[in-house]
Amino acid sequence: MSNYKLGLDYALRQDQNDELKSYRNLFHIPKDTKGQTCIYMTGNSLGLQPKQTKSYINQELEDWANLGVKGHTEATNPWLTYHETLTESMAKIVGAKPLEVVIMNTLTANLHFMMVSFYRPTKTRHKILIESDAFPSDKYAIESQLRHHCQDYKSGVIQWKPRENEELLRYDDLEKILEVHGDDIALIMVGAVNYYTGQFLDLKRITKLGHKHGCTVGFDCAHGAGNVALELHDSGADFAVWCTYKYLNSGPGSLAGCFVHERHAYRNDLNRFTGWWSHNKQTRFNMRQEFEQLPGAEGWQLSNPPILSMAAIKASLDIFNEVGMEKLTKKSKKLTGYFQFLLQQLGEDTIRIITPNNHKERGCQLSIQVKDADKSLYGKLTHVGVISDWREPDVIRCAPVPLYNTFEDVYRLVDKLKSILLNA
């Protein structure tokens, strides 16, 4: 913290010396009604569009127009194997082996497919442990899985809660839950980075605890993929799911990612839904062959993927592949630390940051509570060109994304916030 300095000049010098500064120019930055560039701080909700996305999608449109069905094998990027061209880049981002990763479906659909395989309740072990403030979609999916297995939601879910008057989860509390209820828990399924607080959990520690008590362990990495070093393979988790439209900039509602640890790669005993895209590639188009399971995460696919959506993902992943997560997370820590430093200058009696102070326990998102503020503050920020994110009851989420946000963005955001508060 002591290395940061006040003043716009400091922010401009940091941007000038930033080795990733040129990548901002690869993205479309929204403008306000007056044509002024906005301060975009919601990459944690929807990432910005890479400028090359249009050309990547247009390539597929051209191949479709010119080749028709032959595009499956003769397109510039043949459609039959298109998803395979994304696997290695995505695996690097989430810290996995290519065998363990596939891009398919959407986030909650993938969560359901994973629970078909990895939530196998018995009479004695049937409960699911989640964090108390899990993203709503995860809660709804878990509730419906419990109903599907004729389990009661209220008694079937165990919640890992923050302590009274706290927002962050403690591992000591998780250990106590498992000591008491471990034999009852079939599945631990928590968010790698909590959407509300921005807390980045220790995936390896949680997995080790869960496995010690005989639980299967999975993670929702929607707010982690492209944001933090997930290291999914080393975590030992059984599975993980994530979307690609937040930090991975693939467009609204785009396809999602799925991880299945390699120890499950050749397990044909796992219950799962199947389709022709999870069948042996060599005999896939011999329509009368008996089903033969593909190994690895690809074996959870059902149908051929939507190529236009994959083209948008490829446009972003090619940028990630060029930069690498190591450089991104290095800048992210510095940029978010600067954001925290400036916010703290406004005074603890005015601003409260509920995201962990330790940079190892968060990504780029800071969740901010402003004393006596309501949603009108968010509206005022929007009015002055700051695109942030409001979450009930009283949190503004801001995420300075290292690929396209700058130190100047952070400086001007806090300066505008300070001005609004002084004139309140």
Domain boundaries, the chain: 8-44+324-422, 58-321
Packing angle of the helix pair 8-16, 407-422 (nearest 10 deg): 160
Residue whose C-alpha is closest to residue 201's, from 247, 164, 240: 240
100: enclosing H helix or E strand: none
pTM of the shown model: 0.95
CATH number of 8-44+324-422: 3.90.1150.10
Residue 190 and residue 162 in contact, taking contact as beta carbons nearer than 8 Å = no
DSSP assigned state of 124: S
The per-residue b/e assignment along 294-321, b for 16 or more CB within 10 angstroms, e otherwise, is bebbbbbbbeebebebbbbbbbbbbbbb
Side chain identity at residue 189, one-letter code: M
Per-residue pLDDT of the chain (424 residues; tens, 9 = 90+): 458 999 999 999 999 999 999 999 999 999 998 899 999 999 999 999 999 999 999 999 999 999 999 999 999 999 999 999 999 999 999 999 999 999 999 999 999 999 999 999 999 999 999 999 999 999 999 999 999 998 887 889 999 999 999 999 999 999 999 999 999 999 999 999 999 999 999 999 999 999 999 999 999 999 999 999 999 999 999 999 999 999 999 999 999 999 999 999 999 899 999 999 999 888 888 878 889 999 999 999 999 999 999 999 999 999 999 999 999 999 999 999 999 999 999 988 889 999 999 999 999 999 999 888 888 999 999 999 999 999 888 899 999 999 999 999 999 999 999 999 988 6
Whole-angstrom Cα distance, residue 229 to residue 243? Answer: 16
Residue 43 and residue 399 in contact, taking contact as beta carbons nearer than 8 Å = yes
369: enclosing H helix or E strand: strand 366-370
The DSSP result for 210-271, as a single string, is HHHTT-EEEEE-TTTTTTS---HHHHT-SEEEEESSSTT---TT--EEEEE-GGGTT-SSS-
State how beta strands 389-391 and 366-370 pair: unpaired
Whole-angstrom Cα distance, residue 213 to residue 184? Answer: 9
Residue whose C-alpha is closest to residue 204's, from 233, 225, 183, 176: 233
Residue 307 and residue 62 in contact, taking contact as beta carbons nearer than 8 Å = no
DSSP assigned state of 131: E
Domain 58-321 has CATH 3.90.1150.10: no
Alpha-carbon dihedral of residues 291, 294, 300, 301, nearest 10 degrees?
Answer: -80
Looking at the DSSP bridge assignments, the partners of residue 102 are 258
Whole-angstrom Cα distance, residue 279 to residue 296? Answer: 12
